[in-house]
Structure 1
Amino acid sequence: MRYRPSPQLRKTALGATALVALAGLNAPAAVGFAERQYHQYKINQPRYKALYGHWDLVDVPQEFRINAIHAALLHTGKVLLIAGSGNDQRNFDAGRFQSVLWDPSDNSFKEVDTPKDMFCSGHAQLPDGRLLVAGGTARYEKLGGDVTRAGGAMLIKNEDPDKPRLLRKGTVFVGASGRAYRSLFDVLVPRATKKVYAPKAKRKAAVKVTASQARVYVEATVHGEKGISNTADQYAIAGLKGKDADNVYGLAAKLGLDKKDFQGLREAYEFDPVAERYITVDSMAEARWYPTLVTLKDGRVLAVSGLDDMGEIIPGRNEIFDPKTRKWSKGPDRYFPTYPALFLTQGGDLFYSGSNAGYGPADQGRVPGIWNLEKNTFAPVPGLSQAGRTETSASVLLPPAQRQRVMLLGGGGVGESHASTARTAVVDLKAKKPVYMDGPELPEGTRYLNAVLTPDDTVFTSGGSHDYRGKRASDILKAQFYDPATNAFSEAAAPTVGRDYHSEALLLPDGRIAVFGSNPLFADKDDTQPGVFEQRIEVYTPPYLFGDQSARPRLARHALTVGRGGTAVLDAADASAVAKARLMRPSAVTHATDVEQRSIELTVTRKGDALSVRIPDDPTLVPSGWYMLFVTNAKGVPSQAQWVHVS
């Protein structure tokens, strides 16, 4: 039946048209108003929604509006939004750190006690459904003109083989020049190592002691240039005497008033979705700010890159978290820029797409490739056009995961570059010699693009900006779907809220997509007014939810548990209407980086009214954990998700 607007809507449309004609004879402002009225009329028509989808703003009570830096979907169906200090030093200085749980099913909110500043941490889904959160912020950056006390890294030596030395925050170090510096953190210096060599002819046994060492950040006890030290010096520790003073001391080169970068945290936590609280686990060996956490084939999690406790990029020291022991161990060394996009591939290798965010030199760690962790070898993948514009790009493992194709979308130049690109590229990791091939271009050059896998095997992309952090009013109010089957984009309804740096998007269990955050530098085209962090939440309803909903497949709402390689029997309302089934891993996303999401094709079997699906038995394809199970009909309309725990 052909759609006919109601009398009231016809009046609205006719009124808007008349006003446009009248305004054309009068004021441009009136024309703009009329155009906006007509646009609102158009985008709310059923036919338009069925073609392009629809955006809605979420009503968020004032007390729960936070600067969402991280977003993760939990197996309870709730979304954990983590701000930490939210890129606001006033919050950091006050020790005010925030996390909020949002339940999209009833639009309820709850604030969660947040023990540390998890701003710019890393996260990954664990096999039992908890969320691992590691790293964060120990100190905010200070530009050269804002640094009032000279400071830098102090290397602490301990030559005592009998005992370690714990130096508390505030320990004072005094150099030969008389300049004094105070530590900003606790530091534990291990005991020195001692080796006894067997005696040789007419010689006594020899003993060799090798001093241990640890680093700590220090600042001058006085303000200004009087605290600067431009030469290497040895520093005595105030309060130590005798042998203790001889054994334990500090060494430092330049301690100046130059720019100080963010410093990372060592602390790590698990978020329990059932108890709805953070649980402390073993700390990392390295402090990390802007790290990537990626799940491995055995359920362990690899932490890669980040800025350390001195504000310096970590030179390739990676480590692995074991959820069984809740402890970290050394991982294979390899250097990457911060927030590298690393995907677990079939077979267990990691693929580095080239996407990254924020920190690292332009000529190191930027080449895409396949990383074999066991041998610690790296095979570059060539073919990426505009390879110098991968920072702040998006990457996804295209659906279904069995095809092992990764797509990179947009991106920009290193650092505060104005450059951006509309380039997309796709690589087939099953090829004998994987090579990136150019895909269809985005509507315009885009940094900070959000890309979300959907149950109908498409990729929804939205937002971003074509300049660094939305400079020059460059937020992009566009959205589109990428279809891997046709290798083409199609238009989607435009969002109403601009999203750039520090924005996130993820798939909800009901098939909608939620978008959070945005942290523009400026609020005007001339870059003269400071930007305001975007605290509104916008939800996109795709076209597949505006068709005939009576034909929408329906699954039972209770959770299932199934072993890898096993079969799950589904309670479906109409098994004969089900065409496909997908197992979709929930997102944990920040800084345009989401290496968690993947969509796995399931084999569907029908026997009368009974419907069953088989879970692949490959842990590199289906890592243990919680998944959303969607079934779709022949038109691609998905069910609401049923949660499945794969073990």
Structure 2
Amino acid sequence: MIEQTVVVLFFCHVLLFAGMSFTQAAAAGHWKLLQGTIGISAMHMQLLHNDRVVMFDGTGFGPSNLSFPTARCARSYNGRRISFDCTAHSVEYDVATNTFRPLAVQTDMWCSSGGAMRDGTLVQTGGFKAGDRTVRIFKPCPTCDWEEIPMGLLTRRWYATNHILPDGSQIIIGGRKRFSYEFFPKPAAFNWPLAKTNSVPEAYRLPFLIQTNDGHAENNLYPFVFLHIDGSLFIFANNRAILFDYTKNKILKTFPKIPGGDPRNYPSTGSAVILPLNLQAKLLEVEVMVCGGAPKGASIKARNGVFVEALNTCARIKITSPNPKWLLEIMPLSRVMGDMLLLPNGNVLLINGGSFGTAGWELARNPVLNPVLYLPNNPHGSRFEVNDPSTTPRMYHSTAILLRDGRILVGGSNPQPGYNFSGVLFPTELSLEAFHPPYLDPEFAALRPTIIEPRSQVMVFHGQRLKVEFTVIDELDPTKVSVTMLAPPFNTHSFSMNQRLLVLGRSNVTTTIWPELMYEVEVNVPVSGNIAPSGFYILFVVHQCVPSEGIWVQIL
């Protein structure tokens, strides 16, 4: 056995297109159409640990292009009355076979929120009208369908944000005209901070959401929420952010206003990520990045036919710093309604959206077809790389998620209040396509690791050590190996709820020559639910910025 010392290349930034200015287009990455139509517009997406993706739109858009084998009807609200729609508005997509099946939903899930629980069950909350207090459950199994809990929420939730907490429950924050938060499941013994009305408990008030509300424009819906490593929550709404102790209903810290003061949440609709947490660092730093959006007043102007250019800035802030400040960067392309996805190698992908206007029905123009890579550890001013474009506009109500094989699944785009396929600037889009990031280009195939052990679906505990065996076709550079673990998010309206990438602490890489060439690295499972809440994660081995296909790991 030969032992080699590893020096981790935390963020990959030297292999692909080294030295390229962000103003140059990198002829990298490619697109592939997966389905010409799935019958619905993929407005919401969640990857489950059986490698199937649950997608849905809303029941109020009229009959979809996907029928059930036998009639199953859902309630639909058209603004004046309730009717019944007997077509599907949700599907389960099987990644392995590139097939899908219709799912039945009874109440309107439009503009809702959700997340996968510790056992892998998808919990989806809120929606529109008769669905705005409903909790819906989807258990990963070949024949499972939606289960609905009427009045499962304390108050109406429409355009809210969910986040998984260290104890495995979900917090649900905000929503249209809802300046409060609550939990699912409801705690057995709850210290309600408000007076009870007729002995009915109410949700916790969160005045920060009132303070960041721009009236009719709002600009604080779908707030950006991230779990901090001390168990508190970072909450960004409009142009401001706080660190919040939800257990005491107390603001711990108020951060500076984002430079420029422009709003970044719906309907101005930028996006945000918590950058990868490097668990090997002596001092664990936590940094949040917010990108894109629309200038203040853009929504009102768009409703009057004036489409202003979207924001072209990103801003990063170290929330662990004693004196946190925003660092502003210029993107190569202006973008509103864009998604930000964490890639297995620590880079960030910006994808979808438009470059003029704002979120809302037919309120955006000039689709941004080029994905852009952001390399967090590159020098300031050289962190962006423009990749090859799609040919399909993905505007309002588009989605994107990372799959276990490293591809990006992209769907949706429903810029009108209905299924309109002609006679409009941007027709409703029912297709699914996959973007293959540059690390999947054929020229890097020999660098790509293959995980041998453990097999997918391995179960581990916080603080456990886990041995990972893998092979590489080309010669291994042990100084450029890392192991990462991603929490798959619930994606809708340009925000990926619960998205989290961890760079795991681990020991040296060891090499065995007989009976075959193989490598082994021992990793440390995070010790705390504050860092990694219990649940399913995708674990990757990354070599020279090229990730393996991931395996599912469940932290119990």
Q: TM class by shorter-chain length?
A: 0.7 to 0.9
Q: Does structure 1 residue 573 correspond to structure 2 residue 468?
A: no
Q: Does structure 1 residue 598 correspond to structure 2 residue 500?
A: yes
How far apart are the structure 1 equivalents of 2:423 and 2:98?
A: 36
Q: Does structure 1 residue 553 correspond to structure 2 residue 449?
A: yes
How far apart are the structure 2 equivalents of 1:120 and 1:58?
A: 25
Cα 1:406–1:387 shift into 2, 3 Å: same
* Residue 69 of structure 1, aligned match among 34, 37, 43: 43
How far apart are the structure 1 equivalents of 2:377 and 2:60?
A: 39
Q: Does structure 1 residue 280 correspond to structure 2 residue 148?
A: yes
Residue 463 of structure 1 aligns with which residue?
352
How far apart are the structure 2 equivalents of 1:49 and 1:608?
A: 39
Cα 1:86–1:56 shift into 2, 3 Å: farther
Report if the CA contact (8 A) 1:514-1:538 is conserved. yes
Amino acid across the alignment from 1:320: F
| 1:131 shift after superposition | 1.0
Residue 438 of structure 1 aligns with which residue?
328
What are the Cα deviations for residues 433-457 of structure 1, in whole angstroms up to 9, with x where unaligned? 2222212x12233210111110111
Report if the CA contact (8 A) 2:42-2:55 is conserved. yes
The answer to which structure, 1 or 2, has the higher relative contact order (CA under 8 A, 6+ apart) is 2
How far apart are the structure 1 equivalents of 2:324 and 2:348?
A: 22
Amino acid across the alignment from 1:544: Y
Residue 113 of structure 2 aligns with which residue?
122
Residue 425 of structure 1 aligns with which residue?
315
**TM norm structure 2:** 0.75
SS at 1:474 equivalent: strand
Residue 587 of structure 1 aligns with which residue?
489
How far apart are the structure 1 equivalents of 2:158 and 2:444?
A: 47
Residue 182 of structure 2 aligns with which residue?
319
Report if the CA contact (8 A) 1:553-1:577 is conserved. no
The total of aligned residue pairs comes to 453
Report if the CA contact (8 A) 2:31-2:436 is conserved. yes
How far apart are the structure 1 equivalents of 2:101 and 2:317?
A: 41
How far apart are the structure 1 equivalents of 2:25 and 2:482?
A: 24
Cα 1:343–1:368 shift into 2, 3 Å: same
Report if the CA contact (8 A) 2:364-2:395 is conserved. no
Amino acid across the alignment from 2:224: A
Report if the CA contact (8 A) 1:463-1:495 is conserved. no
Residue 304 of structure 1 aligns with which residue?
173
Residue 97 of structure 2 aligns with which residue?
106
Cα 1:533–1:326 shift into 2, 3 Å: farther
Amino acid across the alignment from 1:135: G
How far apart are the structure 2 equivalents of 1:528 and 1:57?
A: 24
Residue 35 of structure 2 aligns with which residue?
59
SS at 1:550 equivalent: helix
Amino acid across the alignment from 1:642: I
Q: Does structure 1 residue 411 correspond to structure 2 residue 293?
A: yes
| 1:552 shift after superposition | 1.5
SS at 2:495 equivalent: coil
**Larger deviation, residues 498-507 vs 417-426:** 417-426
SS at 1:277 equivalent: coil
How far apart are the structure 2 equivalents of 1:576 and 1:115?
A: 53
Q: Does structure 1 residue 399 correspond to structure 2 residue 276?
A: yes
* Residue 58 of structure 2, aligned match among 84, 89, 94: 84
Q: Does structure 1 residue 447 correspond to structure 2 residue 336?
A: yes
User: Which protein is richer in helix relative to its size?
Assistant: 1
Amino acid across the alignment from 1:497: T
Cα 1:326–1:375 shift into 2, 3 Å: closer
Report if the CA contact (8 A) 2:25-2:387 is conserved. no
**Larger deviation, residues 621-630 vs 461-470:** 461-470
Q: Does structure 1 residue 482 correspond to structure 2 residue 385?
A: no
Report if the CA contact (8 A) 1:353-1:395 is conserved. no
Amino acid across the alignment from 2:107: K
SS at 1:604 equivalent: coil
| 1:424 shift after superposition | 0.8
Report if the CA contact (8 A) 1:422-1:446 is conserved. yes
What are the Cα deviations for residues 314-349 of structure 1, in whole angstroms up to 9, with x where unaligned? 2x2321113897999865320423211111111011
Q: Which runs of 4+ in 1 moved over 6 A?
A: 323-329
Report if the CA contact (8 A) 2:240-2:258 is conserved. no
Residue 382 of structure 1 aligns with which residue?
256
How far apart are the structure 2 equivalents of 1:302 and 1:643?
A: 24
Cα 1:529–1:643 shift into 2, 3 Å: closer
Amino acid across the alignment from 1:276: C
Residue 541 of structure 2 aligns with which residue?
631
What are the Cα deviations for residues 363-404 of structure 1, in whole angstroms up to 9, with x where unaligned? xxx522211223322232115122223130100111236531
Residue 462 of structure 2 aligns with which residue?
564
Amino acid across the alignment from 1:593: F
Q: Which has the larger radius of gyration?
A: 1
Structure 1: gaps of 5 or more residues: 1-47, 140-263, 308-312, 356-365
Alignment RMSD, CA only?
2.9
Aligned ranges 1:45-194 → 2 under 5 Å? 51-60=27-36, 62=37, 64-85=38-59, 87-88=61-62, 92=77, 93-96=83-86, 97-138=88-129
How far apart are the structure 2 equivalents of 1:410 and 1:334?
A: 26
How far apart are the structure 2 equivalents of 1:443 and 1:522?
A: 31
Cα 1:95–1:528 shift into 2, 3 Å: closer
| 1:515 shift after superposition | 1.1
Amino acid across the alignment from 1:573: T
Residue 135 of structure 2 aligns with which residue?
268
| 1:519 shift after superposition | 2.3
Structure 2: gaps of 5 or more residues: 1-23, 65-75, 78-82, 193-200, 210-219, 279-283, 302-306, 513-519
| 1:108 shift after superposition | 1.2
Cα 1:517–1:125 shift into 2, 3 Å: same
**TM norm structure 1:** 0.65
